[in-house]
Structure 1
Amino acid sequence: MAMSESYNNNVINVETIQFPQHLLLPSVQNILKLRIINNSDKQENVRLNISGERVDITIKNSDSDTISIPQNDNKVLDLEILPKADGFGIISIEVEWFKVVQFTVKVQKVRENVPTEKTNEIWQKYTPPPSLEPEGFDPNEFLLDLSKGEIKKLNKGICKLEDELEDTPPEEAIKIADLKNELSECLQSLIKAYIHNQEFDNALSIIREHSNEQNKEYLLRNAIRAYFFIDFESMISAIDLIDDVNDKSALMKTVSLDLIKKNPSNALQVLEKLREERDFYVRGIFQIILNFLNNSQNEQAESLLMKLFYLAKNGENINYDLMKDVVYSIAEKFTPQKAEKVILSIEDQQLKEKLAKDLFDDIYRMVDEVREKIEHRSIASYRYRVNISTQQGENFTKFAAMGGNVSDNILAGQFDFDILVVSLISQNFSLFPTLDRLYSDIAQQDEKQIGYVIFPSKESLNQEELPILSEVLKRLIASKTQAIQMKIYNIDFIPYLGKPTLIIGAEESRGLPLKEKLERSLSSVNINLNTDLFEGGKIIGYLMKIFNQQITRPINLVFSYEFINQYEEFLNCINLLV
Structure 2
Amino acid sequence: MAKKSPSDSISIELLNYPQSLLLGNQDYELSFSVKNNSESIESYAFNFTSTTSDISVDKSYIKGVSFNSGESKIVPVKIRPKIEGLTELNVIIYYQKKIEFKSMDWKIKKNVEKSIVSKIIGKTQVNFDDLKGYKKKLPKSISLGDIPSLSKSKAKKELDKIKSVPSIKVHTREIERKIITQVPKTITKQVPEKIIKKIPRVIEEIIPQEPLVNAINGKKFERPPLKTTKTVYESIEETVMKTVTETVYEEKIETKIDIVEDTTLPSKKGEITLKQKDETLSRIAKGVFNQDPQYAFAIVKMISDPNKRYANISQFVPPGIRLDSKTTIEAVMGLDLGPQKEALIEIIANSLAAEKPDEAAMIALNIDNIAKRDEIITNIIFTAAYLKPQIASNLIYQLSKKELQHQILFELVKGWAHKDKKRAIESLKSLISNILSESNIELIKTCMIFLAYLTDPQSVYDLIDGFRSKDDKSLLVEQLQEYLKVKVQTKKIKLESQELSKLYFTFTAISKKITPALNYLVELKGNISSNLIEGNISSNIIVICPFKFNFPIFMNFQSCYVELLQETQKTFGFLLFPSKENYSEEELKHFHNILNNFIKNQTNQHPSPFVIINLDLIPYFSKPTIFLGDNGDPLIKDIHSKLKGNFTNEINLMINNSFFSQGKSFIELQNILKEPNFRICNIILTYNFLNDIGLLKTFFKAILS
Q: TM-score, normalised by structure 2?
A: 0.40
Higher relative contact order (CA 8 A, sep 6+): 1
More helix by share: 1
Q: TM-score, normalised by structure 1?
A: 0.48
